[in-house]
Structure formats: C-alpha cells, structure tokens
Amino acid sequence: MNIGKITNIAPTGRFGLAILLIFTTLAIFAPIIAPHDPFAPGRPFLPPSPEHPLGTNDIGQDIFSELLYGARISLLTGFLAAFVSVVIGTLVGITAGYRGGLIDEILMGLTDVMLIIPGLPLMIILAAYLKPSFWNIVIIIGLLWWPGTARVVRSQVLSLREAGYVEASRIMGAGDRWIILNHILPNVMPIVLAKFNLAVAGAMLTEASLSFLGLGDPMAKSWGMMLHYAFSRGGFINGLWWWYLPPGLCIALCVLGFTLLSFSFEEKTDPRLKRILER
Amino acid sequence: MREILRITNLHTYFFTPEGIVRANYGVDLSVWEGEVLGLMGESGCGKTVLAYSILRLQQPGKIVEGSIFFDGRELTRLTEKEMEKIRGKEIALVPQDPAASLNPVFTIGEQLREIVRVRNNERSLWDELKSAFKRGSKYHEDEIVKLLEEVGIASPQQRMKNYPHELSGGMKQRILIAMALLARPKLIIADEPTTALDVTIQAQILQLFKKLKGKTTILLITHDPGVAVEICDRVAVMYAGKIIELADTSSLLKNPLHPYTQGLFSSLSFSRKTYLPFIEGEVPDLIHFPQGCSFHPRCPKKKPICLIEEPPIIKFRNRWVKCHLY
C-alpha cells in the first residue's frame, strides 16, 4: 500500500499537500520565524508596517506573530480531534460491520442518533458547560465527528467480511482478531485516511466556530480566537482588515488543503469517482 | 492403514425462511491416512458444505447431528478456539476460487509469511500486531521458497514480491496449494481446485496433485469424473446430501453400481457417433426431498420400493452402495 506516494496523487491533491506542508512548517518553526512574542503587549491598533507586517491588535500584540502561533493551536486541535474521531469511528465501524446482528443494530442506532443531533448547538452546550480548554475542545469535537467514519467503515467491512481471502484465512486457522488486524484494517485504511483528512478540515472549522463564539480556550492563540477578538474588540467595525482577514484566509486555505488531499485519496481508493468527477 | 477422518451420520442443515435446506443429510465417510479420496457429485449436492462442516465453518448452516472424528478428536465438540488450531495446521483447505482467495493489497510473500505465523501459533495480541505491521520483513524465507519451487513456481523470490493481480490463475492456484502445504497438515481438502482454471492449466494442477500423492492425505472434491478417476485412490459419489456409492477408482470405473454413477460415467466415455448421454431431470431441491430414494425421479431402473423406502447403505464386495438394486 503506497497511498502516501506523492507522485501518485492527483495534481489537486499535490496542491493541497503543498498548502498543508507550508502551514505545518510555519507552525513548527513559529518561534524562529515570528518577529515578536505574540503575547507581549505594545502599541495597539498599528497598521501594517515593516516592524509589524500585519499591524497590532487592541492590546498591541503583533498580529503576524499571533498568526504563526495560531497555526500551531489550530492545526494541533484539528489533528488531535480528527484522530480521536477517526479512531472511534473506525472501532465502531469495524465492530458493527464485523460482528453484525444485535451489536450492529445497537452501534448503528447510536451512530444515527449522533448523526441526527445538530452538531454545533450540542458542541456549544458542551463547550459552555465544560471549562473551555484546549483538551476539552479536542475531546468535544472528536466525540461528535465519528459517526460519518463509522458508517463508511462499516459498509466497507460488510463487504470485506465476505471476501474470499477473509474466508481463506479463516480456513487456514485465523481467528477474528487476526482477520481484523491483518485483512480488514489494511483494507479500510485508505478510506479511513481520506476520512481523517476531511475530519481535520471539519475539526479546524469547528474549533474556529467555537472559538469565534468565545467558547475556545481564552489563553490559547488560535485563528478562531483571533477572529473572536477582532470581532469583539472593534476590528470588523473599524475595517482593520489586517486583523480579521489573515486568520480567516488561513482557516480557509487549510480546510481547502485537507479537502483537496482527501478527495485525491478517495479517488485513489475508488477509481470510479475519478470518472464521475471528470464528467 | 489408519483411519484419519471418520464422518458418521452427519447432518448439516441451513434454516432458511423457505424451509430447512438439508445440505448434508446423513453423510458417512472415512478417509484413510495417505490416500487420495475423491468426493464426486453434481453442483449443489452438498460437497462443499461437507468440506466446510469438517472445518466447522459451515455457518450459517448448523451441524444438527452426527460426528466428525479426526485423528482422535471429535471435531463437533471442540470449541471455536480449539478449532482455530486445527484449521490450517491439521486440516487445510484449498479454496475453490484462487482469484478471490488472495488479498489484493498484499504481496504473495506477505501472505505466505502470514500462514507461517498462523501455523507457528503466534496468536498473542503482540504477535498479531507484529504480523500486521512487519509483514514485509523476511520470515522463514528458505522454507517458503523451497515449497514454492515444489509446487512449480519459477523464480519464487521474484514471485513473492508480486501482487496477486500480477499472477495468472494457475499460478494463484499453485500459491494456494503451497499455502495449504505450508502448515504441513495431516489432511488437505481440495475444493474443486481445477474448476476456475482452463484445461491446460487444469492438467498441470492435476499433475501437481499426483506429485503430492502419498506424501499427505487428500480429500479431493470435484464434479468432474475425469478428474476423480485421474488422481484418486478411492472415489465417493455424493447425491442430494448423501454418499450413495464408495469404491476404489478402478472398480468404480469398470463397474459402477448405482444407476447415478453409471449415468455419470456413461457421459464420460461416450463414442463420438452418438449423442452425449446424460441423466434426465435435475438435482432435487434440498428442501423438499422426494420420498424414498432421493434419486428415484431420475432413475432409469427404479422399482416400486424405491418410491417408498430409502435404501440402506450396503457393503457389496469391498465397496459400498446405497441402492435397492443390490
């Protein structure tokens, strides 16, 4: 399985990957690249200048540095929340699809309930009740994003379970755990990966929404928090575009990157999609 | 010679909304150590169900009655965990469809190594994770290569790096036979190993089975009388979920006793000037058996008793037959 081969994915996917690599690099090397300490106050409401490439905010923190540090929190939240959701989704999907019967009914019923509940309001309630912190946001998003993965994985497992090679390996004396680890899991991995990418995009958006509504961790600098402060402290009203536009664009670009990458993964797992997309 | 497998009065039923499908309806069969026993019969007569029942993989069917005695153990009483240790290690099965039976996402080598790990009983969670993530690294390589050469795979090291779709049907079947042999089982069940292959490849695979003859015990399932005659020591003929005749190959070929067997072999050795003889009618549907002998609606030699009473299985000069004629 070489789904990771960069040369093998479609140009759109490579473009998405490039965006993500740039942002990841910026996030990792934020302390080196950032011209200022993003928490250090200074002169407020400065317009862009060589000293402050994107000006300063209401308490005089350098917005460009904030942006770089924000990439860390936003990407990390996205990755961790997506990871949590994909792990739960894969476990539920494989269990339901492989076991079938009553367990399948119960798990899929639960999945349906989770799918029906409007996500954002529930997350707002949860975020409001729990203390707004980085880990709480990760867990809340992770716990609400798994049903999609679970459904897709389950349907794939339903067909894999009946595959000739699964039967053949049972004939050769393999147990359930063996079959799941050695035959089912590797075969659902491409789908899980595609879902993971989409989940990162979704989680980043959700994190931004929650933060924008003021339910994020107030001490962490994420892009959503930047938007929140730009909105609540007069950035929008006074037309200080260098304050609210960059974080918004960054979120959009990252989501675009993950989505493009996810599409190209899905295309690889299901070549029929390619033809549909080209039509 | 030792009896390695004895099946007595085996009933495997499938409970469907339409009724009970009696796929195996009182099967009696013995396999001797070292022999090649052919199990012959039409499609849908219960051959494959019998093979899967032996491995206790007949689900969703249920073994309702009967016993399967294998090498001193009663298989119908074993737990699933105990069965897992018998499958592959002691009884291996070569599946019907070589194309579907190999996992498309792994190379041949990776899948062969997997069998070695199963055989060596590496069954702890740690072992299984190791197998899942280290399938690429070498493991018992010499043994696998030697075995592949034995089953007639040229340049085995090269082939082990191939994915299943890169190999021909015949090669895949050889790989599956190698997989079955890899665990050095006491009994190999070959479920129509030549059905999915074209005739020239069939001949090669049959040659391979001939080579294996004597080294291990083989239960060869086939619907082709030609295949059965070619390589088997004894042949059992199955009809509608029962064994109706059992004899050594030469006497069965020379003098088939049951009218059904006679019909089968007459279609094998017809002269070119006449039409191909065939057995009239169809295999009875396994839900609604005809009363009496299940073959009577198609039987050219039926007597009044055949319609009422099921014939017992009788020993007739070192062979068995289930028919009122004898």
Among chain A residues, the shortest Cα distance to B55 is held by A171
**Chain B environment of A177 (Cβ under 8 Å):** 125, 128
**Cβ contact (<8 Å) for A181 and B132?**
yes
Interchain CB distance below 8 Å, A177 and B105: no
- B→A contacts (Cβ < 8 Å), by residue, are 55, 57, 81, 84-89, 92-93, 95, 97, 99-106, 114-115, 118-119, 123, 125, 128-129, 131-132, 135, 176, 179-180, 183
Cβ-Cβ contacts under 8 Å, B85 against chain A? 173
Task: Name the strands in the sheet holding B314-315, side by side, starting at the edge strand that comes first in the sequence.
Answer: B91-94, B187-191, B217-222, B36-40, B234-239, B242-248, B320-321, B314-315
- Return the pLDDT at A276: 59
Nearest to B179 among A1, A172, A187 (CB): A172
From residue B178, alpha-carbon distances to B144, B174, B232 in Å are 8, 6, 20
For residues A215 and A131, the answer to whether their CB atoms sit within 8 Å is: no
Contact A177 B125 (CB under 8 A): yes
Task: State the ipTM, two decimals.
Answer: 0.80
Chain B residue numbers with beta carbons less than 8 Å from the beta carbon of A168 are 95, 101-102, 176
**A171 to B93: CB separation less than 8 angstroms, yes or no:** yes
- The residue of chain A with its CA nearest to that of B97 is A164
pLDDT in single tens digits along all 326 residues of chain B? 788 999 999 999 999 998 899 889 889 999 999 899 999 988 888 899 999 999 999 888 899 999 999 988 999 999 988 898 899 889 999 988 888 899 988 999 999 988 888 888 777 778 778 777 777 777 788 889 998 998 888 899 999 999 999 998 889 999 999 999 888 899 999 998 888 788 888 888 888 888 888 888 999 999 888 888 888 999 999 998 899 999 999 888 888 889 998 888 887 665 566 677 777 777 777 788 788 888 888 888 888 888 888 888 888 777 888 988 87
Using a CB-CB distance cutoff of 8 angstroms, which residues of chain A are in contact with residue B106? 186
User: What is the pLDDT, as a whole number, of residue B56?
Assistant: 92
User: Cβ contacts (< 8 Å) between B78 and chain A: which residues?
Assistant: none
- Residues in chain A closer than 8 A to B132 (CB atoms): 181-182, 185-186
A-chain residues within 8 Å CB-CB of B97? 164
- Rounded to an integer, what distance in angstroms lies between the CA atom of residue A247 and that of residue B246? 82
Burial readout B1-30 (b: 16 or more C-beta within 10 A, e: otherwise): eeebbebeebbbbbeeeeeebbbbbbbbbb
Chain B touched by A31 (CB under 8 Å): no
> Which of A164, A175, A186 lies nearest to residue B97, judging by beta carbons?
A164
> Which of A27, A7, A4 lies closest to A253 in space, CA to CA?
A27
Q: Do A178 and B106 touch (CB under 8 A)?
A: no
Give the angle subtended at the CA of B151 by the CAs of B159 and B213, to the nearest 5°.
165
Question: How crowded is residue A188: how many other Cβ atoms within 10 Å of its Cβ?
Answer: 24
**Minimal CA separation from B279 to chain A, in Å:** 33
Q: Which residues of B touch A185 (CB under 8 A)?
A: 132
Q: Is the previous residue joined to B60 through a cis bond, with omega within 30 degrees of 0?
A: yes
Q: Which residue in this structure is represented by tokens 């549909």?
A: A276
Count interface pairs A-B at CB distance under 8 A: 79
Rounded CA gap, B261 and B271, in Å? Answer: 18
Residues A93-128: pLDDT tens digits? 999 999 989 999 999 999 999 989 888 888 888 888
Put simply, the answer to whether A164 touches B101 (Cβ < 8 Å) is yes
A168, A173, A182: residue with CB nearest B132: A182
CA distance B75 to chain A (A): 14
φ and ψ at B185, to 5 degrees? Answer: -75, 160
What is residue B141's predicted lDDT score, i.e. its pLDDT?
86
How distant is the Cα of B173 from the closest Cα of chain A, in angstroms? 12
CA-CA distance, A246 to B251, in Å (whole number)? 90
Taking contacts as CB-CB distances below 8 angstroms, the residues of chain A near B114 are 169, 182
Which of chain A's residues have a Cβ under 8 Å away from the Cβ of B183?
172-173
Q: Which residues of A touch B89 (CB under 8 A)?
A: 173
Does the beta-carbon distance from A167 to B57 stay under 8 Å? yes
Residue A17: CA count within 13 A, CB half-sphere: 16
By C-alpha distance, which of A41, A138, A46, A146 is closest to A88? A146
A173 vs B contacts (CB less than 8 Å): 84-89, 118-119, 183
**Residues of chain A with confidence (pLDDT) below 70:** 1-8, 270-279
Mutate: best of A1, A160, A171, A184, partner B, most B CBs <10 A? A171
Strand B234-239 versus strand B242-248 pairing type? antiparallel
Pick B95's closest partner by Cβ from A164, A175, A177. A164
Who among A172, A182, A183 is closest to B88 (CB)? A172
pTM (two decimals): 0.80
Which residues between 145 and 174 in chain A have a beta carbon less than 8 angstroms from any beta carbon of chain B?
163-165, 167-174
Q: Cβ of A181 under 8 Å from any chain B Cβ?
A: yes
Mutate to test the interface with B, among A3, A166, A176, A182 (most CBs of B within 10 A): A182
- CA distance linking residue B137 with residue B107, whole number of Å: 12
